[in-house]
Amino acid sequence: MVTAVTPLSLEKRVRMITLEQVSLRYAKGDPWALREVDLDVTRGEFCFVVGPSGSGKSSLLRLVNLEQQPTQGRVLVAGHDLGELPHRRVHLLRRQIGVVFQDFRLLSGRTVAQNVAYVLQVLGARAHEIRQRVPETLALVGLQDKGRRLPHELSGGEQQRVAIARAMVNKPPILLADEPTGNLDPDTSAEIVAILDRINRAGTTVVMATHDTTIVDQFRKRVVQLHEGRVVRDQAEGGYREVVAQ
Amino acid sequence: MRPGFLLGEVANGLRRNASMVVSVVLVTMVSLFFLGVGLLAQAQVSTAKGYWYDKVQVSIFLCTPDSVDVASCAGGGVTPEQREQVAADLDGLQPLVTEYFYESNDEAYERFREQFRNSPVLDSIPKEAIPESYRVNLSDPSKYEVIRAAFENAPGVESVEDQREVVDKLFTFLGVLSVGALALAVAMVVCAVLLISTTIRLTAWTRRRETAIKRMVGASAFSIRLPFVLETVVATLIGAGLAVGLLWATVRYGITGFLSELLAGDSGLISLVGPRDLWLITPFLVGGALLLAVVTAWLALHRHVRV
């Protein structure tokens, strides 16, 4: 039997993501995707959200990224109660959050540099700013020499790096990664998580949903384990399958 | 979003959806063309009515030697006394009769020859068969019945005709043309609205990844929707421009050129719409089309594009 624990004292730390008694179901009569979840992620933390498929990992990230409103409970991101955030201000909060997906979601007709620059163009950045920040961000993920390549000319790992660069080019304080290593081999997965770790060390709060046992065991970060929508473990520097006594 | 990037997005979207853009352009063009034709036909009716009603007259045709089957012409051709009596009676009907003039047999025949100069029957009509007449202007053209009652069956009078009846047939034709064109325009506008809505839906589907990325990185709803709306506006403007061009060609070469020359010889009783009338309705045509396009696109985006 697994037991939920609260490993960290949060009193004096800045909360970036807070879920208070959050429950979610997508339609009336459907099973609960999340049940009475309480969670705090503080600034600069790296947190794995683990669990089998259908345990609620992606649903939790969707709530944080305002893709979904909870059926019950409150979600707070960077101090904003998402339930009370006016619709017209939602986009401003999304600028504080970078997102990476398992399937990369790159624009196939644009080069690596154009994919990364697209974010800044959409947000109205000036040309000189784009010229400066795109190479910087590509260097951050080790793709400084591949800016002119098209996505289909890259390996899966490289494509995921482009996706990370795109998520980070606007320097958001929070990065959500939904199974970012799901399509990658173990070595490449480790490289990707190492990049996320580096980004985290630079001050970005990272929440990564995964069911990659090796990665979780290798990096020894905070682990929040979900089972049938409930948090069943919250452990600092945990492994994938550890059971922690209360 | 900076203007350069926005324009690039719009140009890219137009290029990627060329076939849909062409269909919006064509439907807009056809619907605005028919709307323009309807409005111009209405303008034609209102301008011509005033002009022609001032000019048309009541004609009192006097008996010819051939009018023996009419009771009032039993004695054959009109006599000078009968002619003078009609004139005296017309004088007595002032102020309803504002003016009248006499058209002799010679003048009437000359006008007949001019009107039917290309007709093969011209030579078979003898001069005597063309009646002399009084042309009467009324202060109130609707009181034609007063004149008819006074002169029909009067000695020496073969018939009394209100020329307005002839003109009214033309107005009725123009009215039907106008209503028909407007009805067609309404149907085409409905087509345009549905087509724009479908185009937005398809465009949104083909660009769902870009839209998802924009949403994800925090683009505002307005900036996500703006390129779609601008593409619709560009297509609508091109369609409107083509429609105005087509209407101008129709007015310039069809009406001002061909039709007015055709009718110029017909007693000068003509006042046709011209390019000026078209320029008067152009802002309403283009403005209305733009408004419709923006509203339709915006509503379709609300429905089909999640922001």
Residue B237 CB coordination number (10 Å) = 16
Give the residue on B whose Cα is nearest the Cα of A176.
B216
B206: left (phi over 0), alpha (psi -120 to 50) or beta: alpha
- State the Cα–Cα distance between residues A86 and A88, nearest whole angstrom: 5
- State the Cα–Cα distance between residues B256 and A2, nearest whole angstrom: 91
Same-domain status, B184 and B78 = no
A30 or B162: which leads in pLDDT = A30
Say if A89 is an interface residue toward chain B (CB within 8 Å): no
Position B72 scores a pLDDT of 76
Least reliable range by pLDDT among A13-17, A20-24, A49-53, B39-43: B39-43
Tell how many helices (H) and how many strands (E) occur in chain A.
7, 10
pLDDT at A246 over 50: no
Position B172 scores a pLDDT of 82
Using the 3D structure, point to which of B163, B181, B203 is the last residue of a domain: B163
A98 contacts in chain B (CB < 8 Å): 217
pLDDT at B240 over 60: yes
Q: Which fold has domain A1-96+172-239?
A: Rossmann fold (3.40.50)
Using the 3D structure, point to which of B133, B163, B193 is the last residue of a domain: B163
- State the Cα–Cα distance between residues B240 and B33, nearest whole angstrom: 8
B5, B212, B218 ranked by CB distance to A91: nearest: B218
Can you tell me the mean pLDDT for B249-268?
Answer: 68
Which domain, by its residues, includes B146?
56-163
Structural domain boundaries in chain A: 1-96+172-239, 108-170
Least reliable range by pLDDT among A47-51, A129-133, B276-280, B292-296: B276-280
Can you tell me the mean pLDDT for B272-278?
Answer: 80
Contact A97, A64 (CB under 8 A): yes
- State the Cα–Cα distance between residues A217 and A223, nearest whole angstrom: 10
Same-domain status, B129 and B191 = no
| A188-202 pLDDT tens trace | 999 999 999 999 999
Residue bearing tokens 């993501």: A17
Same-domain status, B177 and B274 = yes
Report the domain count for chain B: 2
Position B267 scores a pLDDT of 47
Q: In sequence order, what E strands does A43-173 have?
A: 46-50, 72-77, 80-81, 97-101
Same-domain status, B85 and B149 = yes
Position A34 scores a pLDDT of 95
Can you tell me the mean pLDDT for B161-181?
Answer: 78
Residue A117 CB coordination number (10 Å) = 23
Say if A99 is an interface residue toward chain B (CB within 8 Å): yes
- State the Cα–Cα distance between residues A34 and A23, nearest whole angstrom: 5
Q: Mean pLDDT score of chain B, rounded to an integer?
A: 82
Of the candidates A145, A73, A64, the residue with the CA atom closest to the CA atom of residue A99: A64
B209 contacts in chain A (CB < 8 Å): 105, 107
Same-domain status, B117 and B22 = no
Type of residue numbered A36: E
- State the Cα–Cα distance between residues A152 and A12, nearest whole angstrom: 46
- State the Cα–Cα distance between residues B269 and B135, nearest whole angstrom: 15
Highest mean pLDDT of the ranges A229-243, B7-21, B36-50, B256-270: B7-21
State whether B218 and A123 contact (CB < 8 Å).
yes
Q: What ipTM, to 2 d.p.?
A: 0.83
pLDDT category at A239 given cuts 50, 70, 90 is: confident
| A121-146 pLDDT tens trace | 999 899 999 999 999 999 999 999 99
Same-domain status, B43 and B16 = yes
State whether A95 and B213 contact (CB < 8 Å).
no
A118 contacts in chain B (CB < 8 Å): 210, 213
Orientation of helix B18-55 relative to helix B163-206, angle to 10°: 170
- State the Cα–Cα distance between residues A98 and A207, nearest whole angstrom: 10
Same-domain status, B150 and B208 = no
For B53, B179, B281, B286, B292, the CA distances from B32, given in Å and listed in that order, are: 31, 15, 11, 8, 12
Same-domain status, B39 and B118 = no
Orientation of helix B3-16 relative to helix B221-249, angle to 10°: 60
| A86-117 pLDDT tens trace | 988 899 999 999 999 999 999 998 999 999 99
| B46-84 pLDDT tens trace | 766 666 666 667 888 888 877 777 777 777 778 888 888
Report the predicted TM-score, pTM, of the whole model to 2 decimal places.
Answer: 0.71
Of the candidates A162, A63, A66, the residue with the CA atom closest to the CA atom of residue A112: A162
State whether A122 and B221 contact (CB < 8 Å).
no
Using the 3D structure, point to which of B163, B193, B212 is the last residue of a domain: B163
A14 or B271: which leads in pLDDT = A14
Q: Judging by beta carbons within 10 Å of its beta carbon (0-12, 13-18, 19+), is residue B248 exposed, middle or buried?
A: middle
| A176-232 pLDDT tens trace | 999 999 889 999 999 999 999 999 999 999 999 998 999 999 999 999 999 999 999
What's B132's domain CATH number? 3.30.70.3040
| B2-33 pLDDT tens trace | 888 899 889 988 988 888 899 999 999 999 99
Same-domain status, B42 and B173 = yes
pLDDT at A175 over 80: yes
Q: Mean pLDDT score of chain A, rounded to an integer?
A: 89
Position A164 scores a pLDDT of 96
Q: Residue B95: is the preceding peptide bond cis (ω within 30°)? A: yes
Position A160 scores a pLDDT of 95
Residue B189 CB coordination number (10 Å) = 19
Same-domain status, B190 and B299 = yes
Contacts (Cβ under 8 Å, ≥6 apart) of A52 = A211, A227
Same-domain status, B171 and B231 = yes
Type of residue numbered B47: T
A121 contacts in chain B (CB < 8 Å): 1-2, 5
B256 or B37: which leads in pLDDT = B37
B1, B216, B221 ranked by CB distance to A124: nearest: B1
Same-domain status, B247 and B171 = yes
A contact test, residue of B217, B225, B302 with most A CBs within 10 A:
B217
For A142, A168, B303, the CA distances from A98, given in Å and listed in that order, are: 18, 6, 26
State whether A126 and B1 contact (CB < 8 Å).
no
Position A43 scores a pLDDT of 93
Say if A118 is an interface residue toward chain B (CB within 8 Å): yes
Type of residue numbered B105: N
State whether A95 and B217 contact (CB < 8 Å).
yes
Say if A126 is an interface residue toward chain B (CB within 8 Å): yes
pLDDT at A6 over 50: no
